Each structure stands twice: as structure tokens, then as C-alpha cells.
Amino acid sequence: MTETVWTLSILLIALLSASTALYFVKKKQAHKDFTAIQARVKTWWGMLVVFSFATLFNPIVSLISIMILCLFALREYFSMMKTRKSDRRLFLWTYLVIPLQFYWIYIGWYGMFIVFIPVYVFLFLPLPRILGKGTLGFLQSVSFTQWGLMLMVFGLSHLAYYPIASPELGPNLVLFLIILTQINDVVQYIVSIYLGKRKVVPTAHPYITWEGFLASITITTIVSYYLYPYLTTFDLTFGILSGVIIGIAGFLGGVTISFLKRDLLIADHEKQESLKDKYLSRVDSLTYTSPVFFHVVRYFFDFM
């Protein structure tokens, strides 16, 4: 508990420093776009508050908060889709999936938690659309909806399962994951903006470069090396490997969400701008790092 309090205190000081520095940099360089960094800093503040309560007080607060986060992220995802009246019933059923998914987490039923959305929801999700009128756009509606559930609900819901799987170590693992994921995102963005030259996917994400990608993995791994003794029970090898895993998974998550947004919002530049500072831009990496890190840890360690 002492290590956790110290870590949270250091994070608080770091966030205050980052917020202050960002405020002055924005004033000096008003011509540059700091939207992405600002969104990440806001995410850090929100995550710090949520997981401080989860770590120090009651994990149920974390579970409810993440459930609400999934709801808002999924709603933003749906707002990008070109929908028909026949899709409304499908969306309603989809929103009802969220409390069910978190109920399985609350009661600790891992088997149902892990197959509910990928198997049962996948098989029965088309029913509301089948019962609707017309077949036009059926495959597009169902496949887009399933993608949203997998990323915004199934992926992010793993954050809530860490404390349930291991009440003693889970909250610290979530804190460890959040810190590394956000550091990975910020370093990747800053290096890509100021030092990056070779873009990875210019058609989907204009900022990500190979220089930013390599720098983010390097810095994330270094931070993991210094942080793992305080928040985890990992050995040296896995402490270092954690940074690499989270760095790569975070990169893939950010790129995947960028591709989805570009595909859904082609020619709708106004909506693209309005979604820059929303939930999807803040949790894109977590949709991948949360489940990937969870299952890697669960495979190698008995406490999960």
C-alpha cells in the first residue's frame, strides 16, 4: 500500500507539472495543434481519480466507472456510423450488453466474461436486425456493431476484471497498465510531431511515424523497468517485457481506431474534428493494451 500511495503521489505531481507545462507551451506556440496531447493529459487526470479510489478504497467504483466509459465510447463509435431506422433496435440491444458484461465481471464468472461478447453476442446480435424491416445494409450494420462491441466494451472491460481476478494485485496492475499506455501514447505523439520523418500510415494517422513508434517502445520499456518493482510481483524479465508488450499493443490499438474513424468518416471533416477530443481518441490504445496484457499475465502467472 505504501508503494501505491507513493506512485499515486508521484503521478499527481507529474500531472500537475505536465498540465502547467502544456498551458505555457500552448501560449507560446499557438499555431501548433496540441489537441491530442491535451486529450491524453485529461485522460490521465480521469484515470488517476478513478483508480486512486479503486486502489485505495473500493474496486466497485472502478467497475462502474469503466462501465460508463464503455457506454460513452460505444455511443461515440455509433455516432460515426451512417445508420438507418432499422438499426435503432440493434443499437438498443447492444447497449443492454454492457451491464450484462460487467455483471459477469462483478460475480467473477471468468468463463462467461470471456465468451459472452465474442461468442454469444456474435451469434445472436443479428436477431434484432433480422426482425427489422428490409435486408439492405444488414451485413454492414451487424459487422460494424460487433466491431464496436469487441473494442469499446470487450476490450476495455478487461480493465475492470483485473481487481476481480486478483483483489490484492489487480488494482496495482491496472495502475501499471494505465501509466505505461499513456506514456507510450504521449511519447509516440511528441516524437512523431517534432522528430518524426517517416510516417507509418499517412492515410489513416498523419502523426504516427516510425521514429515515434520506436521511441515510445523504448521509453515505455524503460519506465516499466523502474516501475514494475513497486506495482507488480514480476521478475526482471517480465518487468521489461511488459513495456514492450504494452508499447506494441498500444500502437496497434491507436492505428486500428484511426483506420476505423477514417473509414467511417470519409468526407465528413467536420465530424472528424469534433471527435478529436472525445473518448475514442483517449482510450484507443487501451482497447488493445488492456486485453493483451491481461491474457499474457494470466497465462504466465497463477494469481490472475
Listed residue (64, 19, 74, 71) closest to 45, CA to CA: 19
Q: How far apart are CA 165 and CA 288, in angstroms?
A: 19
pLDDT for 270 equals: 54
Mean pLDDT by 10 residues, the chain (304 residues): 65 75 75 68 69 66 85 86 74 92 95 96 87 72 89 93 88 86 86 83 77 93 92 93 96 86 61 54 85 95 82
Write down the pTM of the prediction: 0.85
pLDDT for 271 equals: 52
Q: How far apart are CA 251 and CA 295, in angstroms?
A: 18
CB-based burial, 113-134: b 16+ in 10 Å, e otherwise: bbebbeeebeeebbebbeebee
pLDDT for 100 equals: 96
Listed residue (139, 156, 153) closest to 75, CA to CA: 153
CB 43 within 8 A of CB 182: yes
Radius of gyration of the chain (CA): 19
Q: How far apart are CA 6 and CA 294, in angstroms?
A: 24
pLDDT for 267 equals: 45
pLDDT for 279 equals: 58
Tell me the HSE value of 54 on the side-chain side, using a 13 A CA sphere: 29
Distances (CA, A) of 285 to 274, 278, 282: 19, 14, 8
pLDDT for 273 equals: 53
